[in-house]
Amino acid sequence: MKRIGRSPWQSTILIFFLISFFVGFFLPGQARVVREMKQTYQSQDPKDLIRVIRDLQQRKQDLLVEETDVSQKVMQYLRSSDDTAAQVRQLQHEATVLRQRTGAVPLAGPGIRITIREQSSGASPSMLADEDLLLLLNDLWASGAEVISLNGIRLTDSSSVYRAGLNVRVDGRVTQMPLVVDAIGDTENMSKGLQIPGGVLDLLNLRRIGAIVQKVNLLRISD
């Protein structure tokens, strides 16, 4: 091997410095590129990428299954909550209606007042029969009456109303004619319901029993 002689000191130092500087200058850039490449999939081993893809696909499948389960649970919760709310509303409505029907709560509101006067004197007296009362009250309930009172006596679902001689007996309490029937509810519906041709008012009129229907803005019926 040929022996190489020593170069001048300054040029030696200079060339060492330049080459070292050159290598050092590129090292950070190269390190940065390698670091960035490690964060991407470009420089990954295809086998590793296949494994990663399979893992991701499995993960995706798991997530889809989980999403389906969660969606079903959410739908069940929503359905049950909707059902519960509807049931609660229905039960509250039923409770309100029942309280009204049983007379547990006093009510006030617009309604109609029917004043019934029979002609018990004269040559041909006209008497209000039990059937007339039953028809009148049923028509009122059917027309949307929420609460009814007879001469201030509140009726309930289990009330009994019948004639007792010249008087009327309501739930064991005796009241006298003329009979004032107050009904709270949809005024128009109740009025129309009573005035149906061939209805209770026609029947009372036919039997010469005076019945005056008045619309009242505010009626109060207590228990």
Partner 1 sequence: MVGFVTVCGLVLGIIVGILRPVHIPAVYSKYVGLALLAGMDSILGGIKGYLKDTFDATVFFSGFLINSLVAALLGYLGDQLGIDLYLAAVVVFGSRMYQNIAIIRRVLLKKEA
194 near 87, Cβ under 8 Å?
Answer: no
| Minimum distance, C-beta of residue 56 to partner 1, in the bound complex (Å) | 23
Could you count the other beta carbons within 10 Å of the beta carbon of residue 134? 13
Question: Would you tell me which residues interact with partner 1 (CB under 8 A)?
Answer: 3-8, 11-13, 15-30, 32-34, 36-37, 42-43
Amino acid present at 1: M
Looking at beta carbons only, is 25 or 121 nearer to partner 1? 25
| Minimum distance, C-beta of residue 45 to partner 1, in the bound complex (Å) | 12
Q: Please state, in angstroms and rounded to a whole number, the distance separating the CA atoms of residues 182 and 212.
A: 12
Q: Please state, in angstroms and rounded to a whole number, the distance separating the CA atoms of residues 151 and 179.
A: 6
Looking at beta carbons only, is 1 or 123 nearer to partner 1? 1
Q: Which residues, at least 6 apart from 42, have a Cβ–Cβ distance to it below 8 Å?
A: none
| Minimum distance, C-beta of residue 76 to partner 1, in the bound complex (Å) | 51
Q: Please state, in angstroms and rounded to a whole number, the distance separating the CA atoms of residues 143 and 137.
A: 10
| Minimum distance, C-beta of residue 42 to partner 1, in the bound complex (Å) | 7
Looking at beta carbons only, is 36 or 130 nearer to partner 1? 36
Peptide bond into 8 cis (omega under 30): no
Looking at beta carbons only, is 7 or 61 nearer to partner 1? 7
| Minimum distance, C-beta of residue 46 to partner 1, in the bound complex (Å) | 13
Looking at beta carbons only, is 12 or 160 nearer to partner 1? 12
Note the Cα 194 to chain centre separation in Å: 34
